[in-house]
C-alpha cells in the first residue's frame, strides 16, 4: 500500500519550472483582459470627447441661428470700421435687434468672434441707431469652447445666406466640423 504521508512530506513546494509555467499561463489569460479593458476605456473617452464637441457645436449653431432669425437687420462687419481691427476673428456680420418700447437699450448690436478656443458673443445696447463705439460693450459671454476655427464662416449678400462653419478640436485631439446655412429674412446693410 502507498504511504501518502511519505509522499506529502517529500513534496514541500513547487519547482522553478512549475512556477514559471504557472506565471506564463496566467499572463496569457491576464494580458488580453487588460488590453480589452484599456481599449474600452480609450473608446469611451473618445466617444465622450466627440459628444462634448457635438454638444458645444450644436448649442453654438442653434444660438446663433436663433439670433439671426429674430434679427431686424444684419450689418456686414466691414460697415463698422473698428470691428475688424479690434476683433479680427469675427464672423463677418453684426446682428441688429430693435425693441418696440422706448427704452435706453432700444437698439442691440450683437457680434460673434473667436477668442482663443471660444466663441464670444458681445452685445452693445444703445438708445439711438448709431453704430456702437469700440470702447463700449454692454454684455460679453462665452458661447462655447474647444473652437479651433471660424475662418470659413461667411456671408453671401446676393443670396441672403450666412454660411456658418465651425471647426472644433478637443484638448486630446478629437476634431469635429459643423456646418449650417442660415437664410437671412431681414435687410442686409453692407
> Tens of pLDDT along 77-135?
989 889 889 899 999 999 999 888 766 778 889 999 999 889 999 988 888 878 888 77
pLDDT at residue 133, as a whole number? 83
pLDDT at residue 102, as a whole number? 67
Q: Tens digit of pLDDT for each residue in 31-86?
A: 999 999 999 998 998 888 889 889 989 999 999 999 999 999 999 998 988 988 98
Strand residues in the chain grouped as ranges (E):
73-76, 90-98, 107-115, 118-126, 139-144, 147-149, 154-156, 161-169, 175-183, 188-189
Q: Tens digit of pLDDT for each residue in 5-24?
A: 655 556 667 788 888 998 99
Half-sphere exposure of 11 (CA within 13 A, CB side): 7
- Report the distance separating Cα 84 and Cα 18, nearest Å: 76
**pTM listed for this prediction:** 0.77
Where do the structural domains in the chain lie, given as residue ranges?
46-189
**Nearest 5°: phi and psi at 98?**
-115, 125
pLDDT at residue 41, as a whole number? 92
pLDDT at residue 179, as a whole number? 93
How big is the chain, counted in residues? 190
Amino acid at each position: 500500500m502507498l504511504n501518502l504521508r511519505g509522499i506529502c512530506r517529500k513534496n514541500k513546494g513547487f519547482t522553478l519550472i512549475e512556477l514559471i509555467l504557472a506565471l506564463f499561463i496566467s499572463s496569457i489569460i491576464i494580458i488580453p483582459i487588460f488590453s480589452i479593458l484599456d481599449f474600452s476605456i480609450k473608446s469611451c473617452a473618445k466617444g465622450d470627447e466627440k459628444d462634448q464637441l457635438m454638444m458645444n457645436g450644436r448649442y453654438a449653431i442653434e444660438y446663433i441661428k436663433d439670433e439671426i432669425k429674430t434679427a431686424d437687420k444684419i450689418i456686414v462687419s466691414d460697415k463698422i470700421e473698428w470691428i475688424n481691427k479690434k476683433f479680427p476673428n469675427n464672423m463677418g456680420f453684426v446682428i441688429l435687434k430693435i425693441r418696440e418700447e422706448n427704452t435706453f437699450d432700444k437698439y442691440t448690436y450683437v457680434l460673434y468672434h473667436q477668442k482663443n478656443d471660444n466663441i464670444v458673443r458681445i452685445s452693445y445696447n444703445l438708445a439711438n441707431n448709431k453704430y456702437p463705439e469700440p470702447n463700449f460693450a454692454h454684455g460679453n459671454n462665452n458661447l462655447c469652447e474647444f473652437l479651433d476655427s471660424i475662418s470659413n464662416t461667411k456671408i453671401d449678400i446676393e443670396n441672403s445666406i450666412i454660411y456658418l462653419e465651425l471647426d472644433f478640436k478637443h484638448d486630446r485631439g478629437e476634431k469635429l466640423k459643423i456646418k449650417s446655412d442660415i437664410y437671412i429674412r431681414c435687410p442686409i446693410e453692407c
